[in-house]
């Protein structure tokens, strides 16, 4: 665990850069993490991010299939929004833990 | 040795030659996982593995209830081979297994194939096996991009960060 300054805020992150505490998250932090990953966030990105955060708060595990069936995005769109890391990158930007599911 | 450069996997090429539930799913889980990690993914279905991409069979795959020493009864007792051979048992057990997989958010085969191609993975059928089983392109899932020879498949496996996985 390390402390990192993202968007002028001190946050605790894991070794691979995921926020330790999802409550330390804000939209500016999201934008900066996204930038590091080469992603420019749009409203659509935030819709996905908010969905991921809601589900995580509710204690539900996330899979790419579940996000694809959420009505927020389908799987193809999700790959377009977060290329090469539909669940990993979106989770990182959403400030939630690294996904633990294999699907 | 410090400063050793990491060389992440860039491409995986998978070959699925068996048609049981567990063999096909092993391939699909690994292929989908690779796509999700941003790894270029090619999957080649051959021989009995073709069942996993044939419209008629792909959502009704079975697991063997005879000759499968790892098969257990619910509760953990060994599954008697004699029982496994009775008509309908393999169907029922396979159905139960599919239900348990669904509970873990593992999709049916047709949907799994769609997930892989949605992420940019590519599915191929083996020409020799397709000819042998007298199948046509239209018998196969719409997610199958082409019927190709093993030579063509190897051509797709170029690159020094490529791995071939046989399941």
Tens digit of pLDDT for each residue in B73-111? Answer: 888 898 998 999 999 999 999 999 999 999 988 999 999
CA dist B18 and B68 (Å) reads 15
Q: What residue segments make up the domains of chain B, in order of their start?
A: 11-166
Domain ranges of chain A: 30-94
Per-residue model confidence (pLDDT) at position B2: 58
Distance CA B46, CA B56 (A): 16
Q: Do A86 and B37 touch (CB under 8 A)?
A: no
Asked if B101 has any chain A CB less than 8 Å from its own CB, the reply is no
User: What is d(CA B140, CA B92) in angstroms, rounded to the nearest whole number?
Assistant: 25
Cβ atoms of residues B45 and B16 within 8 Å:
yes
Which of A65, A85, A87 lies closest to B105 in CB terms?
A65
Residue with the larger pLDDT of the pair B71 and B15: B15
pTM (whole model) above 0.90: yes
Mean pLDDT across chain B: 95
Which residues touch B43 (CB under 8 Å, ≥6 apart)?
Answer: B13, B14, B15, B16, B27, B31, B116, B121, B122, B123, B124
Q: Do the chains contact at B115 and A75, CB–CB below 8 Å?
A: yes
pLDDT band at B128 (very low <50, low <70, confident <90, very high): very high
Assigned CATH class of B11-166: alpha beta
A102 is catalytic: yes
Query: CA quadruple B104, B108, B111, B113: dihedral positive or negative?
Result: positive
Q: B47-71 pLDDT, tens per residue?
A: 999 999 999 999 999 999 998 889 9
pLDDT at B1: 52
Counting runs of H as helices and runs of E as strands, what totals does chain A give?
A: 5, 2
Q: Which residue has the higher pLDDT, A45 or A6?
A: A45
- B38 vs A36: CA distance, rounded Å: 16
């Amino acid at each position: 665990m390390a402390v990192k300054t993202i968007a002028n805020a001190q946050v605790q992150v894991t070794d691979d850069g995921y926020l330790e505490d999802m409550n330390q998250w804000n939209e500016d932090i999201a934008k900066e993490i996204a930038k590091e990953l080469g992603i420019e966030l749009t409203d659509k990105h935030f819709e996905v991010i908010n969905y991921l955060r809601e589900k995580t708060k509710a204690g539900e595990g996330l899979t790419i299939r579940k996000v694809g069936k959420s009505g927020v995005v389908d799987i193809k769109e999700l790959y377009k929004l977060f290329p090469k890391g539909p669940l990993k990158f979106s989770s990182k930007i959403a400030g939630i833990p690294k996904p633990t599911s294999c699907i | 040795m410090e400063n050793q450069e990491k060389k992440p996997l860039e491409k995986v090429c998978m070959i699925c030659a068996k048609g049981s539930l567990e063999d096909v799913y092993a391939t699909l889980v690994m292929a989908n996982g690779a796509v999700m990690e941003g790894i270029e993914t090619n999957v080649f279905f051959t021989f009995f593995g073709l069942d996993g991409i044939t419209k008629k069979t792909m959502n009704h795959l079975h697991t063997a209830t005879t000759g499968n020493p790892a098969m257990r009864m619910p509760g953990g007792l060994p599954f008697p081979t004699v029982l496994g051979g009775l008509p309908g048992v393999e169907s029922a057990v396979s159905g139960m297994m599919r239900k348990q997989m669904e509970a873990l958010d593992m999709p049916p085969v047709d949907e799994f194939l769609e997930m892989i191609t949605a992420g940019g993975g590519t599915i191929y059928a083996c020409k020799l096996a397709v000819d042998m089983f007298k199948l046509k392109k239209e018998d196969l899932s719409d997610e199958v991009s082409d019927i190709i020879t093993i030579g063509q498949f190897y051509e797709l496996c170029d690159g020094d960060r490529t791995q071939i996985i046989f399941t």
